[in-house]
Structure 1
Amino acid sequence: MKPTHLDTVVSLSAPTVHPSGARCVVAATRPDFRADAPVGQLWEVPLDGGAAPRRLTRGFRDTAPRYSPDGRWLAFLRATPEGRPQLCLVEAQGGEPRVLTNRLLGVEQFAWSPEGNRIAFTSREPEAGRYGSMDGVGPRAEDPRLVTHLNYRVNGPGYTGDQRSQLFVLDLPNGNDEPFVSAKGRAKAAEAETPADERETGLPEARQLTTTAVDHSLPSFSSDGQWVYTVSQFDPADVDTLGSRVVRTAVDGGGSAPIELGTPDAASVRAVREAADGSGLFVLASTLGESGTDFVGWSTHMFWHDFEAGSTVRVSDPDDDFGEAPAALRVGADGRALAIGRRRGTARLVAFAPGGGREVLVGDDRVVTGADSAGGAVVLAFADATTPGELAAVREGAPERLTDFAAPLREAAAPLVPREFTGKSADGTPVHGWLVLPQGTGPFPVLLNIHGGPFAQYTGAWFDEAQVYAGAGYAVLMCNPRGAAGYGEDHGRAIKGRMGSVDLEDVLGFVDSALAEFPELDRERLGVMGGSYGGYLTAWTIAHDHRFRAAIVERGFLDPVSFIGSSDIGWFFPGEYTGWDVEAMQSQSPMAFVDNVTTPTLVVHSEEDWRCPIEQAQRYYTALRLRGVETELLVFPGENHELSRAGTPHHRKQRFEHILRWWSRHLPTEANPAPAEG
């Protein structure tokens, strides 16, 4: 794969299955160089093996499809090139969509009521005079912000106190209504005399149900349609509370109240759905330890909250972790909750019955990204070694593939299938991971790619980073060292208070094991790279081991001390991982050991990264330059921490081109030759 092939990479939403079980709809999105933005539409996919999938909508970017409970309507989000996503409605068989909202900051998430007569949604409500809510007042002319608490901004959305995500509900309009026509001529002149808030818009009234100074997310209705559940923060001024909770809001405007789960094991709620029979709640949540701030390495579990008993019990397997895609939690027509659990480099589809009972529906080498069930059909979106996204139906206990969205990508560049293997750390601990080899016989220069998190995981699924680097002639090593997710809580918490210890031993042990096992690898030509925590461990590695010819430190967590207060999560993140003592922080800080670095290093960062602020990169780059280390600083304007995954297509392509340029200088290959002198 080459950087220019990025526009052939199709990503899929979670599917929505028609109540009949005969078909489903999914959003297929890809980066587009012409638009320099992600584009995509909704596709209808038959489940009977008959007709081919068909494009159902033709918007600029149509996402998040959901059938109404009776199957007559399909709601989705549509974004224009200039605008935010708005809630839209179209007949399930297709037709002209009707726009239901005109929210200044767009619609984030939505849910159907069980009767299909209402839709609840969340949307950021801007403070007056901000975010374009007042003509002539741009971002530079807004009033100053007075900050009085520590949780006041987040990577991506930005400042949060003046644009809280609130809950709204609207009644479904009559589908046979005549289309709204905007006033012109005399009618427009007459309308100008009517107060703005009384003018006809053609949009159904959206009633705001919450006004609190916290964000609400992931709305879902109760089984009787009288309540809407959301996941909500605690008071942002409460510095000792990191968790989130279940909030229930009355549709009739009767107010909101939290649901007390009654167990510290579920202190941080990730998602909630009421059972179809109204007997209780399915809740994805994790503990925050005895302190209430200890988030490190705890798995997200499935809990069952029984209304009658008032009790909350964990019903998931101790080794499962449902923190990868909590928003994908669904309750199917059979009453079971579908959740995605990561385990040992996979993401499995697991079904839970009310009150308990668990069944793994898909547990092989696929990585499930979303699922739905209705009419006896279970459909999932997945990635595997050959595709970044397809649909499959679960039949006779096994997934049967329904689509081939990866065909254009495959025509551009045949996928290079990862080889799974387990290496060994210095203390004998197994280190699980993958090797992606280029075409040819080798020996190939080796790139150790370290993932972020650290409580995240690599999988054996198709990965654009590995495909691009292997396509340029590099053998790519990826592993899940201690600190990663998917291998149990002991594994995830192993680096608490000792970052850069066993995790460093694990990645180096994985490299040594690979060099011993695979003769195709060139042990004399090694490079190391990583982003976020991967940037941390890359910087830490080159300060303590000098075998690598060059390195790339991207969006790195490089100084725990300055991270506190500068990062959107910085006030608690460093201390919980390194310990709060300044000396302990310094002993685990790459900046404190930068004088040991001799490895040529490319530092990559985004200007609007609030997760790992750009000062981390600027100071690290400056320190390297001042001590004479060969280094460059590559800065992307207008991008945040998600550049490599969700940046503009041109920036993503340019990022790959600069990375390959750096490797061509220090580890040239036939496919990525050294630059010509002069």
Structure 2
Amino acid sequence: MTLSGILAEDLFDLKSVTDPQLSPDGTYVAFVETSIDKEDEEYISNLFVHHFPTNQTTQWTFGSHRHSSPRWSPNGESLAFLSNRTGKNQLYVLQLAGGEANKLTDLENGASTPIWSPDSKSILFSTAIKSGKTLHEKIEKPKKEKKAAKIYDRIKYKADGKGYLEDTFSQLVIIDVKTGDTKQLTKGDQHYSPSSWSPDGNQIAYTGNDSADRDYQLVDDVFILDIESEKTEKITPSTGFFNDPKWSPDGTWISIIGHEREYQGATLSKIWLYNTTDQSFVCLTSEWDVQVGDVSAADFHIGTVDPGLLWTNDSQGFYFLISDHGNVSVYYGSVDGAMYPSLNGQQHVYGLTINPETHEAVLAISTPVQPGDLYTYNLSTGELAQLTFINDELLKTRSLSEAEPISFPSSDGREIHGWMMKPADFDPEKRYPLVLEIHGGPHAMYANTYFHEFQTLTAQGYTILFTNPRGSHGYGQEFVQGCVGDYGGMDYQDLMAAVDYAVNTYDFLDEQQLAVTGGSYGGFMTNWIVGHTNRFKAAVTQRCISNWLSFYGVSDIGYYFTEWEIEGDIFESPEKLWHHSPLKYAANVQTPLLLLHGELDFRCPIEQSEQFFTALKRQKKEAVLVSFPGETHEVSRSGSPRLRLQHTEQIRDWFKKYL
């Protein structure tokens, strides 16, 4: 049988498996399977449970809805989850013994982040509540909505994926599973996120920003709330971003992930410990030049969950993920500060759950030729075995392109790391066009993971070159801050060095047939590249940035992101913002450019593409703008299936036209 490469429309047949959760005794693992309903062209997510003793997997939820966040009760008898079957996500509970799901909440703004109490009697969660109201106050809506002006007096008045913000704030609530009684724990015009319960069930840890000047004092702190007295204590110093507070099983420690914003948004996240006995707060990994957590850039999985730190029962250590040199790996850390690899390899671990007593785990793993499956893994012995085979039937008929790692010197001698993917039907006697792909962020990391866009292009006969230029995570603190204040400088040189290395090393490449594409920061860099060189025959800029002066005022993060990343603002250094704006160099562009943008993108608003498009068309240059109605900055990753498919097809067809 002749195998074909991955087709863009295979998106409708591929399934995603995410968020594995082991039961307390390790007998079961629950997970989420997401697919696309071809008729309705909508995502469907259902919960599945695998029983290890019988090696049987059973579907626990059904229907054409989204079910997510499966969480076992500590006694192992129940599984809480979220479902949008009635509209907004509400909280449900299923019994291990069987029966229908019990709907616990019916809240106007839904529920999120369910966390069981240690005694399995209550669940902590969050819900949005209107300013000045409480959980139980009903807001009367007029029978007929009348149009009214909306008034904003905060600089944070919109957010990508949420739109223009209503006057509501995320608050913490506890619900009694048996009676349905609720207790609102927090209030005020601040957002709070739940994280964990103390082992005795008397306190909860949560995160938020309680600063009166919170739009400008950009921090996240950790708080401890005593449930009975309702007294709150802040345990972090309001110096940066701290999250994921979790008690050790013996209650001695609270582990935290975060940083003190030493390099603003380019700072590596580290591991901290708070001692509940003497209230000391120390960083365990201050000398470890590694990013804690999963920061890989990918376009396939929806609903992945970074597990944070997972304590072992002896309270002496924890497991967690790190992002390093294009891989996402599992590490073990001790309370003494020693860090040990538990699972390394050329792969992307995008999900992790452990049995804290036996050190057995279930991992979600993806590679460039494996969209993703669950694996059992013994963290002590290193035994790895595949548990699910979610896409095997389709993949048997497809030829996927491997990602070959490469490294090369940039113009200043700095070593840069990346990958090459040959065409799916590669013939060494032929010559092929090359597509340079550039990730967003910029503080993210291309990884050894499945990328649907890449595979669809290799199936069309393109070679894919993707790299981690300076500014990327995975190569230490100096490297990740290497593009700050220098967008379009050495990061541009790194990318051009990658192209030079590829065409000089691989004789099957046609150096006259080069293309470039990227999204977000990658869109900025695509715009920058076509304004500074004509060596590319085609370019596609996705959800781009073209003008830092306007981005400062129209992006939901513009005012601080621009100051952090470009090191300038519209008041004191507009010339610097303009110097780093691709729009300044639009007169130089000769490369045919396709601009793709979601119409509801509030992170990099569509006006960024519109400005660049207009500048090019005013000069009668080859440019096409494609907008995606209703889509946000996530259009190519979690956008509606039909438009997500069209997004990929637009890229494919543009390159086909010019290469």
TM-score, length basis structure 2: 0.91
Q: 2: CA distance between counterparts of 1:355 and 1:305?
A: 13
Equivalences for residues 627-638 of structure 1 within 5 A: 627-638=619-630
Give secondary structure in 2 for the equivalent of 1:296. helix
Name the residue aligned to 2:595.
603
Equivalences for residues 321-336 of structure 1 within 5 A: 321-324=291-294, 327-334=306-313, 335=315, 336=317
Percent identity over the alignment? 28
Give secondary structure in 2 for the equivalent of 1:598. coil
The answer as to 2:407 corresponding to 1:407 is no
Give secondary structure in 1 for the equivalent of 2:321. strand
Post-superposition CA distance 1:340-361 (Å, at most 9, x none): 2101111112233345343322
Is there any run of 5+ residues in structure 2 with no aligned partner, and where?
1-5, 296-304
Q: 1: CA distance between counterparts of 2:459 and 2:130?
A: 46
Give secondary structure in 1 for the equivalent of 2:152. coil
Name the residue aligned to 2:446.
458
Q: In the alignment, is the contact (CA less than 8 A) between 1:274 and 1:280 conserved in 2?
A: yes
Name the residue aligned to 1:177.
none
Q: In the alignment, is the contact (CA less than 8 A) between 2:329 and 2:344 conserved in 1?
A: yes
The answer as to 2:150 corresponding to 1:145 is yes
Which residue identity does 1:232 align to in structure 2? G
Q: 1:246 to 1:299 in 2, by over 3 A?
A: same
Q: 2: CA distance between counterparts of 1:665 and 1:606?
A: 23
Size of the aligned set, in residue pairs, is 627
Name the residue aligned to 2:299.
none
1:587 to 579, 593, 601: 579
Q: 1:356 to 1:518 in 2, by over 3 A?
A: same
Post-superposition CA distance 1:561-593 (Å, at most 9, x none): 111121110011112111221111111111111
Q: 2: CA distance between counterparts of 1:412 and 1:213?
A: 54
Q: In the alignment, is the contact (CA less than 8 A) between 1:281 and 1:304 conserved in 2?
A: yes
Name the residue aligned to 2:406.
421
Q: 2: CA distance between counterparts of 1:579 and 1:392?
A: 44
The answer as to 2:638 corresponding to 1:646 is yes
Q: 2: CA distance between counterparts of 1:93 and 1:61?
A: 23
Name the residue aligned to 1:381.
364
Q: 1:521 to 1:598 in 2, by over 3 A?
A: same
Q: In the alignment, is the contact (CA less than 8 A) between 2:293 and 2:306 conserved in 1?
A: no
Post-superposition CA distance 1:190-228 (Å, at most 9, x none): xxxxxxxxxxxxxx1332211121111243212221122
Name the residue aligned to 2:128.
124
Post-superposition CA distance 1:125-167 (Å, at most 9, x none): 24699999725455xx464333222223211123445121111
Q: How large is the RMSD of aligned CA atoms in angstroms?
A: 2.3
Q: 1:36 to 1:471 in 2, by over 3 A?
A: same
Name the residue aligned to 1:27.
32
The answer as to 2:349 corresponding to 1:365 is no
Equivalences for residues 264-663 of structure 1 within 5 A: 264=239, 267-289=240-262, 294-316=263-285, 318-324=288-294, 327-334=306-313, 335=315, 336-354=317-335, 356-374=337-355, 375-376=357-358, 377-395=360-378, 396-438=381-423, 439-441=425-427, 442-580=430-568, 581-663=573-655
Give secondary structure in 1 for the equivalent of 2:455. helix
Which residue identity does 2:48 align to in structure 1? W
Q: 1: CA distance between counterparts of 2:218 and 2:383?
A: 39
Which residue identity does 2:531 align to in structure 1? A
1:134 to 141, 153, 173: 141
Tell me by how many angstroms 1:551 deviates.
Answer: 0.5
Tell me by how many angstroms 1:399 deviates.
Answer: 3.0
Q: In the alignment, is the contact (CA less than 8 A) between 2:521 and 2:544 conserved in 1?
A: yes
Select between 518-527 and 311-320 the one with higher mean Cα deviation: 311-320
Which residue identity does 1:535 align to in structure 2? G
Q: 1: CA distance between counterparts of 2:280 and 2:106?
A: 41
Tell me by how many angstroms 1:327 deviates.
Answer: 4.5
Name the residue aligned to 2:302.
none
Q: In the alignment, is the contact (CA less than 8 A) between 2:258 and 2:269 conserved in 1?
A: yes
Q: 1: CA distance between counterparts of 2:225 and 2:640?
A: 37
Equivalences for residues 666-677 of structure 1 within 5 A: 666-667=658-659
Q: 1:137 to 1:594 in 2, by over 3 A?
A: farther
Tell me by how many angstroms 1:498 deviates.
Answer: 1.0
Is there any run of 5+ residues in structure 1 with no aligned partner, and where?
175-203, 668-678
Q: In the alignment, is the contact (CA less than 8 A) between 2:366 and 2:448 conserved in 1?
A: no
Name the residue aligned to 2:298.
none
Q: 1:643 to 1:237 in 2, by over 3 A?
A: same
Give secondary structure in 2 for the equivalent of 1:548. coil
Give secondary structure in 2 for the equivalent of 1:655. helix
2:82 to 74, 77, 83: 77
Q: 2: CA distance between counterparts of 1:240 and 1:128?
A: 22
Which residue identity does 2:370 align to in structure 1? T
Q: In the alignment, is the contact (CA less than 8 A) between 2:17 and 2:390 conserved in 1?
A: no
Q: In the alignment, is the contact (CA less than 8 A) between 1:244 and 1:270 conserved in 2?
A: yes
Q: 2: CA distance between counterparts of 1:256 and 1:143?
A: 38
Post-superposition CA distance 1:314-359 (Å, at most 9, x none): 2236222124368422434524433221011111122333453433
Which residue identity does 1:154 align to in structure 2? A
Which residue identity does 1:329 align to in structure 2? G
Name the residue aligned to 2:163.
158
Tell me by how many angstroms 1:304 deviates.
Answer: 1.0
Which residue identity does 1:299 align to in structure 2? L
Post-superposition CA distance 1:420-442 (Å, at most 9, x none): 11122112211111111112213
Select between 235-244 and 10-19 the one with higher mean Cα deviation: 235-244
